[in-house]
Amino acid sequence: MTSPARSTDALVVFSRVHKSYDGTSFAVRGLDLHVRRGEFLTLLGPSGSGKTTTLMMLAGFETPGSGEILFEGRPITGTPPHRRNFGMVFQNYALFPHLTVGGNVCYPLEVRGVPRAERERRAAQALAMVRLEGLSSRRPDQLSGGQRQRVALARALVFEPPLVLMDEPLGALDKQLREHMQVELRELHRRLGTTFLYVTHDQGEALTLSDRVAVFAGGELQQVDTPEALYEQPANRFVAGFVGDAVTLAGTLADSGEPARVALPGGGVLEGVNVQAAAAGTPVLACIRPERIGLLAPGAAAANTVAATALDATYLGDHVRLRCALPGQEPIGVPLPLAALPAPPHGTPVRLELPARHLRLYA
């Protein structure tokens, strides 16, 4: 896990935060996390991993069992939600059906006592920001899902909060609209510079949107890092398997040096990065991203290779996935560029290159 941000960079600090609903199991355990000022930080994990509970504790809708949450250096654990002054965007939009678009966006300003003329000016500005000019008089049921999501976003931004919290805000949208909204959200964040804290279970969404991603599992923070570092240098087996695709080979650590060496059941030996400093003799999983695996041409030589047998090839539009059998392992899939067609037929012996710098060994 990367080291937390310096305190001067941190807008929000979670310090040893625990949360349990039943007194025995933890929804969040020992959370230490810094949210940097102006960043787009995504909390990523499967259902029940603790990411939404973390967001709700920051929003004030849940209370930590122990630990402290700081905002701009001040404890806010006992501060009610309406006094935290954070913007919120939910998956179900939470728009008032009896109000117009303009009325929905004006509402946060109205409850803060902003004069009407100023409310209307700022609401119009917020709607323009999310490209909904001219729709102020419509009601939510007259809008598409993407438009309703934009209204919810404008309402969260209209009072210029220092922090915007988003809980699966694109989850109800279809794939094409979801991808379009991801681009718009990222561009909006760049323009505004407001701190965004975003919750999702979608790995692709997290990698697309974020400056950093915090991966949760079992109530614990597994790793927080940039999308590139998270993908290329996962800190443990969970992150390697959850973020993107990973090919895994079981073996035994033969040498714990740098590079480390892993012995495979079929007799092959591969070099890789000993991520957790495991001792020689430890059973390990060797993990690598599929696109890092190379299919060697007949007669070609390379370091860090294994013998395999071609099983079948599946055409996937932009590439072909060649399924290969290795002794003592589950079959693995190797992506091939279309230029590599035709793929080796069933039963063909092949050699696969797994570059040592991309092969990570986990105990």
Looking at CATH, the fold of the domain delimited by 245-362 is given as OB fold (Dihydrolipoamide Acetyltransferase, E2P) (2.40.50)
Per-residue confidence (pLDDT) for residue 130, from 0 to 100: 87
| CATH 2.40.50.140 boundaries in the chain | 245-362
Q: Residue 363's closest CA among 288, 290, 266, 275?
A: 275
Per-residue confidence (pLDDT) for residue 5, from 0 to 100: 42
How far is the C-alpha of 180 from the C-alpha of 198, rounded, in Å? 17
Q: Residue 341's closest CA among 324, 319, 323, 325?
A: 319
Q: Residue 103's closest CA among 140, 55, 63, 48?
A: 140
| CATH 3.40.50.300 boundaries in the chain | 4-238
Residue tagged 């560029």 (tokens): 337
Q: Which residues pair with 36 in a beta bridge?
A: 10
Per-residue confidence (pLDDT) for residue 184, from 0 to 100: 87
Per DSSP (E only), the strands in the chain are 10-19, 28-36, 40-44, 66-71, 74-75, 87-90, 163-167, 195-200, 212-217, 220-225, 247-255, 260-263, 269-274, 283-288, 294-295, 305-315, 320-325, 332-336, 349-353, 360-362
pLDDT tens by residue, 129-158: 888 888 999 999 999 888 888 899 999 999
Predicted structure pTM score = 0.89
Per-residue confidence (pLDDT) for residue 340, from 0 to 100: 74
Structure tokens given for 353: 């290159």
Looking at CATH, the fold of the domain delimited by 4-238 is given as Rossmann fold (3.40.50)
How far is the C-alpha of 7 from the C-alpha of 363, rounded, in Å? 33
Identify the segments of the chain with pLDDT beneath 70.
1-8
Per-residue confidence (pLDDT) for residue 8, from 0 to 100: 56
Q: DSSP class of residue 6?
A: P
Cα atoms in the 13 Å half-sphere on the side-chain side of 220: 8
